[in-house]
Amino acid sequence: MSKKRKKQWLFVVVLVIIALLTGCTGGGSGPANEPKPKDPAAETGQKEGQEDPPKNGEEQQEPEPEPEQTIDMQGKPVRVLSWGYAGGEKGTEAGEERIALEQELEKKYNTKFQFDQIPWGDIQDKITASVVAGEPIADVFLLERSRAFPSMLQKDFLQPIDGILDIDSKQWPADLRKTGGFAGKVYGFSTAVGGGGGIYYNKAILKKEGLPDPQELQDKGEWNWDTFLDIAKKTTKDTNGDGKTDQYGLALTPTNFVPAFIASNDGDVTKVVDGKLAFAGDDENAMEALRFYSDLSNVHKVVKPQTDNWDDYINAFNEGIVAMRYGEGWEGGGIQTNLGSEYGFVFIPKGPKATAYHNAMQPTLWFVPKGANPDAVRIYAEYLIGYMPQEGELDDWTESLFADRKSLDNYIEMGKIMTPKDWEGIPDFGQEIGNSWKNIGAGKETPETAMKKVRPVLEGLLDAAQK
């Protein structure tokens, strides 16, 4: 080889090496199918949304979109576990659409959906046993939040979804970090939390007594404990002159009424301290709610006496002898059957310590067990988003629950103002505190005496469940 040819060959080799080194300086790629979010502000020093200045008078070109991330499940299934069949079923338009979506995603990701059903009460134990054995039986499973938090979380049976799904995307509810989160991480997800509980009221009774409609009070920002009490007092009376009260302002059961009113005063029964639930049912805001609850029965006497029959307060309202009661949104259909269109549904009235409306809830969410396939979770999330109504969207059944649009809108908004009842997942906690609330309502104990007496019991239950 001549010297000239040899120099040319060496020059080509150097260029190739430089090109290879330049291509390697971009850093290693992240985990498969987990694109790293880009921060334009960090790369350019500009504020988000600010346009780049033109360079040397040249027109700036739009950057090419990043290629869509692909998943190949290589025939492995997406395993879904719930107590009811979670896939599409033949025979209805909605069911057929879901089946078509399943087939589309199965082809797209080289997978199959596996929808397994086990009884409601067995899901927590079955998932737990499979995780302990090192082989989770599902990639996603359906469970009430309180059965997952704190017990399954603190025993390391759950996988956070923060690094799997973009939970800040508009495809998910805006408050998903609160609804599905615990101690700073998010574990549960759903396309919509749905509505919750509020106050049902009998429009015919209020019209007869010449009282304002709670919806109008809510619209004016005047729906609070004072206006609620005023209506309850003015609708509690003897209507036939026999000297006995036969119409009541309120019917309730403490199990659902008390947590709602504690939440409405910006309080809670428990709070998270250092990653664990701690008792908060005797904090200032909660105690103010308990005193109000006690006074309703024992001072103002506006509450219809409750029997041992759980349905008593429901039946009394449906019979038209009670002006108001607490109820969940799904109960609207039964109320409509009995009262026609003469009822409304509004928020829990605002307590003195609150600056906004609140309520307590028990959401049902999808969770990911430890050791599940993250790609299967992503595919199921795409499926869920593809067929479930998004937040604010309605299905025919939900629309049928209420006789007027205002009530329906209230129900939709209630899903955004809920405080999770994580204490319901602590064994015996609900029974112990429920008995105390029942004694308060019956006038057997003052709120102060009842909470002082039950506090050590409840703290012991919390400690035992969170070792």
**Which pLDDT score, from 0 to 100, does residue 399 have?**
84
**Which pLDDT score, from 0 to 100, does residue 61 have?**
52
Q: Output the 3-class SS for the chain.
A: CCHHHHHHHHHHHHHHHHHHHHHHCCCCCCCCCCCCCCCHHHHHCCCCCCCCCCECCECCCCCCCCCCCCCCCCCCCEEEEECCCCCCCCCCHHHHHHHHHHHHHHHHHCCCEEEEECCHHHHHHHHHHHHHCCCCCCCEEEEEHHHHCCHHHHCCCECCCCCCCCCCCCCCCCCHHHHCEECCEECEECCCCCCCEEEEEEHHHHHHCCCCCHHHHHHCCCCEHHHHHHHHHHCCECCCCCCCCCEEEEECCHHHHHHHHHHHCCCCCEEEECCEEEECCCCHHHHHHHHHHHHHHHCCCCECCCCCCCCHHHHHHHCCCEEEEEEEHHHHHHHHHHHCCCEEEECCCECCCCCCCCEEECCEEEECECCCCHHHHHHHHHHHHHHCCCCCCCCHHHHCCCCCHHHHHHHHHHCCCEEECHHHHCCCHHHHHHHHHHHHHCCCCCHHHHHHHHHHHHHHHHHHHCC
pLDDT tens string, the chain, 467 residues long: the values are: 444 333 333 333 333 333 333 333 333 333 333 333 334 333 334 434 444 444 444 444 554 544 455 899 999 999 999 999 999 999 988 899 999 999 999 999 999 999 999 999 999 999 999 999 999 999 999 999 999 999 899 899 999 999 899 999 988 988 888 889 998 999 999 987 666 789 999 999 999 999 999 999 999 999 999 999 999 999 999 999 999 999 999 999 999 999 999 999 999 999 999 989 999 999 999 999 999 999 999 999 999 998 878 889 999 999 999 999 999 888 998 999 999 999 999 999 999 999 999 999 888 999 999 999 999 999 999 999 998 765 556 667 788 889 999 999 998 888 778 888 999 989 999 999 999 999 999 999 999 999 999 999 999 999 999 98
Torsion over CA of 187, 120, 430 and 296, rounded to 10 degrees? 100
**Which pLDDT score, from 0 to 100, does residue 216 have?**
97
**Which pLDDT score, from 0 to 100, does residue 24 have?**
38
| 212: its two tokens | 């304002």
Length of the chain in residues, anyone? Answer: 467
**Which pLDDT score, from 0 to 100, does residue 374 have?**
97
Give dist(CA 430, CA 445) in Å, integer.
18
**Which pLDDT score, from 0 to 100, does residue 382 have?**
96
**Which pLDDT score, from 0 to 100, does residue 3 have?**
40
CA distances for 466 relative to 59, 152, 155, angstroms = 61, 10, 9
Q: Which of 354, 414, 395, 408 is nearest to 195 (CA)?
A: 414
